[in-house]
Amino acid sequence: MIMVLWLILCYDKLYFITEKVLAMTNDSTTIEQGLTDILANTYVLYLLTHNCHWNVKGINFHHLHAMFEEQYTDLAVAVDDIAERLRALGHYAEGSFAQYLERSQVKELSEQTDQKTMINALIAGNTLLVNLMRSLLRSAEDVCDDGTVDLLSSRISVHEKRLWMLNSLLDA
């Protein structure tokens, strides 16, 4: 049996890791569970944003309708990117709405509502995702998972910009 020994330099730390040990670490489970939670919450936020796009009404209809479309389109791509990251790491990517609802903390809107309630719901969902991603980002950095770090860093930037725009609507 040939054992592969890796010498890894990660953020000024030196690691000697065998291939087998690397695949079996708890860090792998932490990253998997974190990405799976982020996937579920991103999917439910995608649906919430689509709901807002379909059902928004009022004086700012056109602007909000277009903005929500831009957001749900981005979230659809994000769902795919997150699921593909899970697969690239060798993990199963959950794909049923029942699984997403069970894992998600994003709150759905169950009835027709006003623009302010929609915007607040989207702020809450985006804030939740930023917090989940920041937490997982630290874990990914600790194990030198650069692909996950890159994915999370870019998604955090998108959600922070979105939060700025959504919050600005409430200041008007």
Interatomic CA distance for residues 101 and 43, integer angstroms: 9
Domains of the chain by residue range: 24-171
Q: Are 99 and 93 in contact (CB under 8 A)?
A: no
Residue closest to 27 by CA, chosen among 108, 91, 121: 91
Please give the distance of CA 162 from its chain centroid, rounded to a whole number.
Answer: 13
- CB atoms under 10 Å from CB of 155, counted, come to 21
Structure tokens at 32: 């998997």
Which pTM does this prediction carry? 0.85
As a CATH number, domain 24-171 is: 1.20.1260.10
Can you give the pLDDT of all 172 residues of the chain as single tens digits?
454 445 555 655 545 444 433 444 556 889 999 999 999 999 999 999 999 999 999 999 999 999 999 999 999 999 999 999 999 999 999 999 999 999 999 999 988 999 999 999 999 999 999 999 999 999 999 999 999 999 999 999 999 999 999 999 998 6
Q: Are 31 and 142 in contact (CB under 8 A)?
A: no
Residue closest to 54 by CA, chosen among 43, 44, 69, 70: 69
Structure tokens at 45: 């936020």
